[in-house]
Structures are given as structure tokens and as C-alpha cells.
């Protein structure tokens, strides 16, 4: 197994996730105050879900036992089918979970959410497919008056996780913390 391939793929995934989370934190979330605003909320939920999937993908890659990039990517695509974060997490090897205790898929009035428990905190992530195709449902997403705070807390928690992964796991050359 080529550790350099795994490191490079994981590095790409985690840096993309981290930059996406910073974009969410610095550009999108300042426009979301307390309650739900459909356009900003949808954008924020898509970014948060997508970047959470990238974080989990990086962890999956680090634990992969495949030898080539194409084999690793093929397994990753199968593991992340339908963007199910719980299913993807369940396939991350224990030693590469970085304090993520579990990812639980829940139904919230017909809309799927994931509760990602990291150490003693929980990030709430809306299902990517659900957010993208919510127009197919004959109902509206439940109103969350604390949406802005909840999104900021989840984003901050995931950014902390990306820093932990970068600082302790992947050989980033000059970026590696000594």
C-alpha cells in the first residue's frame, strides 16, 4: 500500500473541507442571524454537509487498505453513496476517527439530519441530498429560531476537527506542526 497516495488524497480532501468551512464561517454565516432565511440557510446547509462529507472522506482514505488511487477512490465512492454520512462514518477505521464518537442519522419531520458527536459536543448536519431536493417534498423544513447560532457552532466544531487532523495525522511537509 502506498502511504504517499493516501496522504496526498487525504490532504486534498481535508484542505478542501477546511477552506470550505472557513468560507461558510467568514462569508455565508454572517448573513444568517437568528431564524430561518431559505436562500442563505440552503446555501449554508449544503456547504456544511458537503464539507463534513469531505472530512469523513479524508478519514476513510487514511484508513484505506487499497494500494492504488483508483482503488481508494472506487471504495470511497461506494462508501459515500447517496451522501449518507452515517454510512460513510461507519466505514472509517476506529483509529482514524479523531474524537468523532458517532454519526447518527435522524428524521426531523420528514427531513434527514445527522448528529455528529465529536468529543463532548455535537454538530447538526442536514442531509445534502435532502437539502438539494427539498422542493420534491410537500412540506417545509422545520423553522429553527437558533439556526444561525447552531450553524456557527457546528462549523466551529468541524473546523477544530480539521485542525486536529492536519496537526496530528497527515504528512503535510512544511505545514506539519512540529
**Number of domains making up the chain:** 1
Which of these, 12, 109, 22, lies nearest to 55 by C-alpha position? Answer: 12
pLDDT of amino acid 39: 78
pLDDT at 176 over 90: no
Predicted structure pTM score: 0.91
- List beta partners, residue 63: none
pLDDT computed for residue 78 by the predictor: 93
Q: State residue 177's pLDDT score.
A: 38
**pLDDT tens per residue across span 78-130:** 999 889 999 999 999 999 999 999 999 999 888 999 999 999 999 999 999 99
- Domain holding 51, by residue range, is 3-175
Amino acid at each position: 500500500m502506498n502511504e504517499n497516495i493516501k496522504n496526498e488524497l487525504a490532504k486534498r480532501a481535508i484542505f478542501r473541507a477546511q477552506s470550505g468551512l472557513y468560507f461558510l464561517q467568514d462569508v455565508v454565516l454572517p448573513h444568517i442571524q437568528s431564524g430561518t432565511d431559505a436562500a442563505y440557510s440552503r446555501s449554508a446547509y449544503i456547504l456544511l454537509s458537503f464539507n463534513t462529507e469531505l472530512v469523513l472522506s479524508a478519514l476513510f482514505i487514511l484508513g484505506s487498505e487499497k494500494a492504488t488511487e483508483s482503488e481508494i477512490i472506487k471504495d470511497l465512492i461506494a462508501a459515500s453513496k447517496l451522501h449518507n454520512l452515517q454510512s460513510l462514518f461507519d466505514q472509517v477505521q476506529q483509529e482514524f476517527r479523531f474524537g468523532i464518537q458517532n454519526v447518527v442519522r435522524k428524521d426531523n419531520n420528514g427531513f434527514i439530519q445527522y448528529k455528529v458527536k465529536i468529543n463532548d459536543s455535537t454538530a447538526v448536519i442536514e442531509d445534502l441530498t435532502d437539502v438539494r431536493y427539498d422542493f420534491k417534498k410537500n412540506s417545509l423544513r422545520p423553522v429553527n429560531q437558533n439556526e444561525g447560532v447552531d450553524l456557527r457552532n457546528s462549523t466551529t466544531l468541524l473546523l477544530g476537527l480539521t485542525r486536529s487532523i492536519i496537526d496530528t495525522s497527515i504528512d503535510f511537509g512544511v505545514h506539519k506542526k512540529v
